Structure 1
């Protein structure tokens, strides 16, 4: 393959590789955006949601104590009780008898009903007694009326006792049955609109006679069951027409703690307001924005003692297990349809869900998802995603994989730490992001980038001098990834106005122009023992002094620069015949200590140089246009030159450097310059001395004389403009003559 063709191919593939990396980053950012949208609930990823729920269930199962809590006892309307006393609903006299026994004989602390008594008991015979009223003496009628009024007996049983009744809110219908007792906490209309509390439309409450005499009542419905139907979290309160109503579990705790005031912990900032928790007097229960908490399940079914309802009703002596306990009356009978799906068990008694929640409130172990959880998850995804996306640019594959493993471990440990502090934060989303980006980057690297890198490896030898190729072939063991530091000279060259040129040419024409420009420039650099470091679009970076030692690296770099300018003149004549634009270049040369060696990865090696001296060389090339000259060299390059005449251009601070440096222009070979040309150099150097001494008038005289001899030049105008500025406003007696360049 011809050298020019190979170089053109590499140039295109370098651009192609850069484009592919940009595409990889853009696609990776798109993946990150999808996860961020999911975290903000703008986009729903069903699989990710399911995995989050699964991870929650795993954490709950692995951390649940699986012990028995006998502070709460469940009186069970089980199959045994139904067989003994008949199918549900039972007569209210039977329920009254059970309540009386629990309170009077078994001395329980409170009784909570996981059921609603919305209709009168019609089995009491009062209707028949009413029809017979005219045939029965009044005294007997009154006696029978008292005995047959089952609802009245149940009312008397719960009156003035720690009895908590249940009721149901309706989220879809505004139908109301009976009436609720007045809420002891209310919200203003403006606050209701700001909060995200569950706000039902209707309800089914207990009969007014029961509501009026019960200690408290609480809802036992759960309007925030997860999509898979699993009971993981429940609201502690719901808001109905401005009133704040407690759940059955929360109501039970209120009664057992002596009726402390129920209030909401509301965080408010200007027009934003959110529920942060619930107060029971001075006790704070942290919650999510819906006043929701995650049920702290103790274990599977029967984490709390069960006593059959019929055993209570038929008991003839106190049951020790019941004394001073919180009683929940519910059912495990399948026919009564109060079985729930929970993270620990599919068919789990609904009454035991309340028991777990009561115990969690009492112990302060309820888990919650804080209002700032979205910010935590969003920032975690953003930080992790950006690290993963951009770390391949800076790290080797092994280090990149190690970084990903560390990120996964740190996130998991942090998530578990928050879990043990009762905070529920998504675990899976960041882990899924790490895995997805890793899979994408691995696939991309294998199918896309590896092929391009193999092609680059085949062509790389054509971009360095033959001496280096031969030396590497003779002793390949000498060329490892280790580098060394040595004094070298670096050269940067760039085409001026290349952006405008590229816009005026068709892509094919631009490619041909670049090939015809880069080929002779590269040949000149190789001719003078230089090594091409890289092509950067229209720019060339080369260095001298490695891999082969070169005692004349300064001279060879300047010789190459001089010949490059001569070759450009010849090229421009050819370009003119093709109606191609005329090219102008700037060259920056600098000498200093540089790190040199084979640097890169197992996919691609690059023999390159690094260091401050290299960066300064790039800055010097950028200054050529400012001074209207083609070549600028640094003071360390000029200091040890022999046979080459230079004139000092300026003393400057370049962008990114604090130390000022003197910069020079190589004028030509001393034995080839005329006496008048040498004199002009001396005159300009004398002008620089007067300039730094603030002898503005002396400077002007020399510049005017130089303009007459060689015509107006950009560099003369630069100093004329500065002198006029300093004549109007002196730089001060402490001025060191240094000019600060703020651009590259």
Structure 2
């Protein structure tokens, strides 16, 4: 039986959830439809928040915060060296745009002998200059793997036009077969910031950072990033020194001093060298750290960050779509469960705080652990939770007016009216947690119904079964019992919980016989044209069981569990072997207060080890025959042969009494054992 909640002062969280769920079910169809639509909207927001207007901007902002908070704080990176055109370089060269290529050619000549692992040039050669021949000659002469910037109109239409692209291709073609190779300098600027690696586009050479690392001794680390288009892991400087060392390019172009050359060579040896612009108003990039550092960075530093990320092996672990769906569903479920809890604010506060910490902190934890959180909702989780909470809360409040009527109707389907009313008036009488109780337990079964159901149309089976269960349920409720469950055509009922009464034993005993009689009435009521209906068999036992709410978060059941339940079930099954329709244990019979029982010996039930004394209700049996039977059964333990002789006389006097005949047969087969083991 689905359990109803008690007052919030006297019940646990499960009871509070049940009360809220009951209220939701009692809401009107229109309210439920509106709630369902809001929950669907909440789920979509929770899953697809990055793709929604306004909400997507909030996701970007939260991602930037995560990136800043979790960014590694490091000293200056000794693996990468930036050689830059600075504003002072341009002033000294008296040439701002395009950048001086003669200066670059001279610098490359010096750098080539300093032992760099690879050199990358983040400067587009997209229009002819007087120094091009000198530059091409130096590039062709390079011994160090060198990568020259490449862009095309398909992926960088804002930076290059068709004529410029054609000139660039022609210049790069002259480098074929040398150590100088084209490399893409394309960066992602989605949503106004460079937060992720650029996508892999067909026809483009590899990204300059990938190409440089792939050409050096760390090629294996570059291969680990093949196809990667996830987050760029930016780092923050631990001191006033920048993360990447920068040297002006003119230091190399005019290098004549041997001591200076040796000092600069120490800065270059075994490093990845990036050449580009560190110019205040040119090629400045907004990153995920810009909102918190207050500054943009040159594009060349973004390429340096990708190289450092590869060297660190800091590839962010991708999040699968199903994982995002799973989290979205969990968030919505948490909001729904929270809204269902009918408790005071002070009791809910820790629960709400815990959810806030988890929902708000999980993206930061994932980012810190190297999980890809770009594209994984964070603001959407919060927004979806709020919307789902609001939807369910509204449904709960809207249904409050019908709560008592629902309780009366629901309880009345499982409990006698007097117990149902007492629970509604005094809900503390209903124990929500499992507790041990002494119960009178009945199991019933309709013989042969499973076989019969295969011979009839489903509609006919359903009509017959509903009629049959309705009759037996009415018998149980009329005798003050609680319907525990239906298992196909079987009915399970018990007395003694949730509220025990002194006459439970007698009522349970009378109910056992009445259930068999109701089954016989049902058999007589069935259309004679249908196949014959089997008899109803009933087994009853008295013993200890654990009674309470069992199940899970989505469905709970008020039921009884324990060995006593199993014994009652085995007794019901034993009717077939015993020739009886109703059989009970001695424990049950002795506590019933009735004198209509006749003993049928002792048996070991199927699947059990301990023998059970069994009895059958026989109100109409003459007193002398009952006494004779009791005397015969009493002899079974001490003298089975003598007992069998007496039982034979009884069987002869009652030729139609199948239970006596079965008892006689069992007694003759004992062979020194004190209890017959049922097959």
Same fold, judged at TM 0.5 (above): yes
**Band the TM-score falls in, shorter-chain normalisation:** 0.5 to 0.7
1:355 aligns with 2:310: no
Residue 540 (structure 2) aligns with: 589
Residue 368 (structure 1) aligns with: 316
1: CA distance between counterparts of 2:199 and 2:422? Answer: 79
Q: Does the residue aligned with 1:669 lie in a helix, a strand or coil?
A: coil
1: CA distance between counterparts of 2:437 and 2:208? Answer: 80
* 1:494–1:538 Cα contact (<8 Å) kept: yes
The CA deviation at 1:710 is: 2.0
1:46 counterpart (36, 45, 51): 51
2:121 counterpart (87, 97, 113): 113
* 1:294–1:366 Cα contact (<8 Å) kept: no
Cα gap change, 1:461 to 1:172, in 2 (>3 Å): closer
2:233 counterpart (263, 283, 296): 296
1: CA distance between counterparts of 2:40 and 2:611? Answer: 47
1: CA distance between counterparts of 2:336 and 2:630? Answer: 53
Residue 474 (structure 2) aligns with: 519
Residue 668 (structure 1) aligns with: 618
Q: Does the residue aligned with 2:605 lie in a helix, a strand or coil?
A: strand
1: CA distance between counterparts of 2:331 and 2:467? Answer: 41
1:276-291, aligned counterparts within 5 Å?
A: 278=222, 286-287=224-225, 290-291=227-228
* 1:652–1:663 Cα contact (<8 Å) kept: no
1:234 counterpart (197, 201, 210): 197
2: CA distance between counterparts of 1:599 and 1:108? Answer: 70
Q: Which stretch of structure 1 is more off in the superposition, 350-359 or 461-470?
A: 461-470
The CA deviation at 1:487 is: 2.7
* 1:107–1:324 Cα contact (<8 Å) kept: no
Q: Does the residue aligned with 2:443 lie in a helix, a strand or coil?
A: strand
* 1:168–1:220 Cα contact (<8 Å) kept: yes
1: CA distance between counterparts of 2:575 and 2:581? Answer: 6
Residues 252-309 of structure 1: per-residue CA shift (max 9 Å, x gap): 4577xxx42735xxxxxxxxxxxxx546xxxxxx43x615564321249975455666
1:151 aligns with 2:133: yes
2: CA distance between counterparts of 1:442 and 1:624? Answer: 56
2: CA distance between counterparts of 1:492 and 1:171? Answer: 81
* 1:489–1:544 Cα contact (<8 Å) kept: yes
1:558 aligns with 2:509: yes
Residues 186-224 of structure 1: per-residue CA shift (max 9 Å, x gap): xxxxxxxxxxxxxxxxx948545556554x54623448x
2: CA distance between counterparts of 1:503 and 1:620? Answer: 30
Gaps of 5+ in 2: 1-21, 156-167
* 1:220–1:248 Cα contact (<8 Å) kept: yes
1:632 aligns with 2:583: yes
* 2:548–2:558 Cα contact (<8 Å) kept: yes
Residues 438-463 of structure 1: per-residue CA shift (max 9 Å, x gap): 96588458637966754332346756
Cα gap change, 1:166 to 1:260, in 2 (>3 Å): same
1:330 aligns with 2:269: no
2: CA distance between counterparts of 1:734 and 1:508? Answer: 47
Q: Does the residue aligned with 2:120 lie in a helix, a strand or coil?
A: strand
1:344 aligns with 2:295: no
* 1:82–1:88 Cα contact (<8 Å) kept: no
* 2:438–2:544 Cα contact (<8 Å) kept: yes
Q: TM-score, normalised by structure 1?
A: 0.58
Q: Of the two structures, which has the highest relative contact order with CA contacts closer than 8 Å and spacing of 6 or more?
A: 2
1:262 counterpart (213, 219, 233): 219
Residue 457 (structure 1) aligns with: 407
* 2:482–2:494 Cα contact (<8 Å) kept: yes
Gaps of 5+ in 1: 1-12, 125-149, 174-202, 264-276, 280-285, 692-697
* 1:168–1:205 Cα contact (<8 Å) kept: no
2: CA distance between counterparts of 1:610 and 1:664? Answer: 22
Q: Does the residue aligned with 1:343 lie in a helix, a strand or coil?
A: coil
* 2:437–2:544 Cα contact (<8 Å) kept: yes
* 1:226–1:232 Cα contact (<8 Å) kept: yes
Cα gap change, 1:661 to 1:433, in 2 (>3 Å): farther
